[in-house]
């Protein structure tokens, strides 16, 4: 057997293998190495050591990691909020720099670190080039010129290099400019390169021992571990949680989000005294400083989020420390974890951060199944290919020794990531805690992110001030300017005239029949078309005996016909009962029997076998009707719908919602979103049936267009 095939077969058994100082090292995540594998390693030691030391396949192609593949796909405009390179631009200021010396050192680093010579193919593989031409740094007198060119750089992945290095000289300082695609180096790797640069440039004592494991060998080892028992156990851990992992925070977005690929930065530094106090208090509670900062971030996000249970995308830069000096290997070792938060009730800060800390470490104990794989599973499970988690937290606290750095990072940096709306990055040094928020332009309502950012800084300082605060319930206060705005809105008295959902819609349809009402995956529909289909549904229901006060089940996927069905039911004076299409048939039957539902609008009737008392209205039975006689528009005191929950016993329990209650809710929504313009477009994504109805009818009531994202 050739040595390369032998090594591949060993990796396929979930065993990591590498060589250091002439000795074979191995590691198996899920237990002790079997005797037969040990025998193979012992019998072939000389050939295996020689193979690794001679870099037998060092320059052959190898697969991308899960996160690299996600970054590569995210560069494509076909993906929602894609068309963005995973990229970092940063600047460090120095008292003086010799440009030619800088260039020579970077060429030395390029020769020493494989991934600085890497290229990436569109087919999902990467390779290290054995030889590259001499790299010439960019020299300019104008920092602004370089910033404008590199801040949102988009490298061609199949061409070397996938980075830029430049130097500018002003009368006061020299600035080192760096532009890196995260596909070849993560945040920790870039700082490792900078520390190596300074070690050589300033003649510092080189304390960094080189890692003998290349990025390629590391990745091949990790891929092999997917065949291990540990990987299967970790996969099972996450699969059991797919039904309960919440969605991303729902923050106030612009009515018409603008899909740009530009990001802006908010930056602040927590002074060293304040940071030391947070570290001291964290140790007293028994949590990591990262957990404390992350928890404060989550609390601030929750204050602006309409959902109090949510998940944040936690970026981790942790590497397998079984490889000695692994942090000196350059590459994209990034992984992500969906971290859950439940802030539906008030929490004592100390208890909250201990819960968060426990969850982080429990998740990390099962991280061989990656966060990217978990998100893919969620998309399949929830039949939502557009599901993503755009609020990100990235910490390199405690990972990097930056205390002896001569260069000082300034505030002109920026990073960007596909499908990211907000990326909170924190990094510490002897100067304190550096905080950067990189925010995608055109997404959030004006001033929202700025308000959350400065609230975050305010509470970092507050929790560094006194430990007494850690033993109290957390109440995140809004900024003064937002409190004033809310008081103004809340103090504006206006009479809410009694009306019905269906009548509000009919008024809009009469005023603007040709305006787009609904946009779903099948196309666009005008107010007039929505009215006509609703009339057809009402006619079919009446002809089958439906009357005012009856209950009609609606078991349909989100979309135009679902909304038309709600209107059609309301036109008859009946109330509707939403039945989730993904619910088991047994539960759907229980809801129908419990509510004594006489009619169900659905695309199939198989789930009703044996229930002769319930009539199914099929989509293919409906025809547009320009007129519908005896439409009920004035039943303002009647029931609008009944929503069923599991109840404390697990049995379906109905909650009755009246027309007036829904009216009050949609008025509140329109006030909150400032919906006044008939050209307003609301994007509805990842919402449950009952929440969607509030929003959709709130928009239809004022003549807006509703985009329903499936």
Cβ-contact 456, 439 below 8 angstroms: no
Cβ(87)–Cβ(182) below 8 Å:
yes
- Of 6-10, 62-66, 635-639, where does the model show the most confidence? 62-66
| pLDDT band per the 50, 70, 90 thresholds, residue 485 | low
Tens-place pLDDT, residues 563-608: 899 899 988 888 888 888 777 777 888 888 888 888 999 887 776 6
Give 123's pLDDT tier (boundaries 50, 70, 90): confident
Residue 596 backbone zone (phi > 0: left; psi -120 to 50: alpha; other: beta): left
Share of the chain above pLDDT 90, in %: 43
Q: Which tokens sit at 365?
A: 């104990």
Which secondary-structure segment (H or E) carries 309? Answer: strand 309-316
For residues 501-530, give the mean pLDDT.
Answer: 83
Q: Which of 1-15, 471-485, 671-685 has the lowest mean pLDDT?
A: 671-685
Res 494: pLDDT: 44
C-alpha atoms less than 13 angstroms from C-alpha of 529 in its C-beta half-sphere: 12
Q: What is the pLDDT of residue 660?
A: 67
Q: How far is CA 533 from CA 562, 628, 629, in A?
A: 11, 10, 14
677: pLDDT confidence band, cut at 50, 70 and 90?
Answer: very low
Give the residue among 689, 688, 680, 671 at the shortest CA–CA distance from 707. 680
Q: For the chain, give the percent of residues with pLDDT over 70.
A: 86
To the nearest 10 degrees (0 to 180), the angle between helices 3-12 and 45-53 is 100
Question: Lowest mean pLDDT: which of 22-36, 118-132, 219-233?
Answer: 22-36
This prediction has a pTM of: 0.68
Is residue 703's pLDDT more than 80? no
Helix (H) or strand (E) holding 594: helix 585-595
Q: φ, ψ for residue 409 (rounded to 5)?
A: -65, 135
Pairing relation of β-strands 125-128 and 422-429? unpaired
The dihedrals phi and psi of 440, each to the nearest 5 degrees, come to -75, 130
């Amino acid at each position: 057997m050739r040595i390369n095939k032998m090594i591949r077969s060993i990796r396929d058994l979930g065993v990591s293998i590498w060589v250091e100082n002439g000795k074979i090292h191995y590691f198996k995540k899920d237990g002790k190495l079997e005797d037969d594998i040990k025998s193979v390693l012992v019998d072939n030691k000389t050939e295996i050591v020689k193979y690794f030391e001679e870099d037998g396949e060092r320059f052959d192609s190898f697969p991308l990691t899960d996160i690299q593949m996600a970054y590569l796909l995210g560069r494509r405009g076909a993906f929602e909020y894609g068309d963005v390179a995973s990229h970092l631009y940063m600047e460090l200021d120095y008292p003086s720099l010799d440009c030619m010396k800088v260039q020579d050192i970077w060429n030395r680093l390029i020769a020493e670190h494989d991934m600085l010579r890497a290229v990436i193919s569109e087919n999902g593989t990467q390779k290290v080039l054995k030889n590259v031409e001499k790299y010439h740094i960019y020299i300019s007198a104008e920092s602004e010129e370089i910033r404008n060119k590199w801040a949102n750089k988009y490298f061609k992945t199949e061409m070397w290099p996938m980075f830029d290095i430049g130097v500018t000289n002003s009368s006061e300082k020299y600035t080192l400019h760096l532009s890196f695609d995260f596909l070849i180096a993560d945040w920790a790797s870039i700082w490792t390169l900078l520390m190596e640069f300074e070690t050589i440039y300033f003649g510092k004592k080189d304390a960094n021992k080189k890692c003998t494991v290349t990025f390629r060998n590391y990745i091949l080892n990790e891929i092999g571990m997917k065949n291990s028992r540990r990987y299967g156990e970790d996969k099972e851990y996450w699969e059991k949680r797919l039904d309960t992992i919440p969605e991303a925070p729902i923050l106030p977005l612009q009515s018409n989000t603008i899909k740009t690929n530009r990001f802006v930065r908010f930056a602040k530094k927590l002074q060293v005294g304040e940071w030391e106090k947070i570290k001291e208090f964290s140790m007293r509670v028994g949590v990591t400083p990262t957990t404390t900062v992350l928890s404060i971030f989550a609390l601030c996000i929750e204050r602006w989020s309409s959902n109090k249970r949510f998940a944040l995308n936690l970026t981790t830069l942790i590497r397998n420390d079984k490889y000695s000096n692994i942090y000196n290997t350059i590459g994209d070792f990034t992984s992500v974890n969906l971290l859950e938060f439940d802030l539906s009730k008030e929490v004592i800060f100390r208890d909250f951060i201990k819960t968060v800390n426990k969850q982080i470490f429990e998740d990390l104990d099962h991280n061989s199944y990656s966060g990217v794989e978990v998100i893919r599973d969620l998309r399949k499970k929830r039949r939502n290919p557009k599901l993503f988690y755009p609020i990100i937290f990235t910490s390199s606290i405690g990972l990097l020794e930056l205390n002896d750095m001569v260069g000082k990072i300034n505030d002109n940096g920026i990073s960007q990531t596909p499908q990211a709306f907000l990326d909170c990055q924190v990094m510490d040094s002897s100067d304190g805690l550096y905080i950067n928020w990189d925010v995608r332009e055109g997404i959030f309502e004006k001033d929202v992110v700025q308000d959350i950012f400065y609230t975050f800084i305010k509470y970092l300082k507050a929790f560094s001030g006194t430990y007494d605060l850690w033993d109290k319930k957390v109440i995140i206060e809004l900024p003064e300017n937002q409190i004033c705005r809310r008081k103004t809105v809340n103090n504006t008295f206006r009479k809410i005239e009694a009306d019905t959902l269906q009548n509000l819609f009919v008024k809009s349809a009469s005023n603007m029949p040709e305006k787009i009402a609904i946009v779903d995956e099948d196309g666009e529909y005008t107010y007039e078309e929505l009215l006509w289909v609703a009339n057809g549904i009402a006619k079919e229901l009446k002809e089958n005996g439906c009357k005012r006060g009856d209950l009609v089940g609606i078991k349909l996927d989100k979309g135009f016909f679902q909304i038309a069905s709600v209107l059609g039911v309301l036109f008859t004076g009946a109330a509707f009962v939403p039945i989730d299409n993904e619910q088991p048939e047994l539960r759907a039957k229980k809801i129908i029997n419990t509510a004594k539902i006489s009619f169900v609008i659905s695309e199939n009737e198989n789930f009703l076998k044996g229930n002769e008392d319930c009539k199914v209205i099929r989509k293919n039975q409906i025809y547009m009707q320009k007129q519908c006689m005896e439409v009920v528009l004035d039943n303002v005191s009647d029931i609008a719908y009944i929503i069923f929950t599991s109840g404390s016993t697990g049995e379906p329990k109905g909650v009755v919602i009246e027309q007036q209650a829904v009216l009050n809710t949609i008025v509140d929504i329109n006030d909150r979103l400032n919906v006044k313009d008939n050209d307003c477009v609301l994007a509805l994504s990842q919402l449950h049936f009952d929440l969607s109805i509030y929003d959709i009818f709130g928009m239809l009531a004022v003549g807006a267009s509703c985009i329903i994202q499936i």
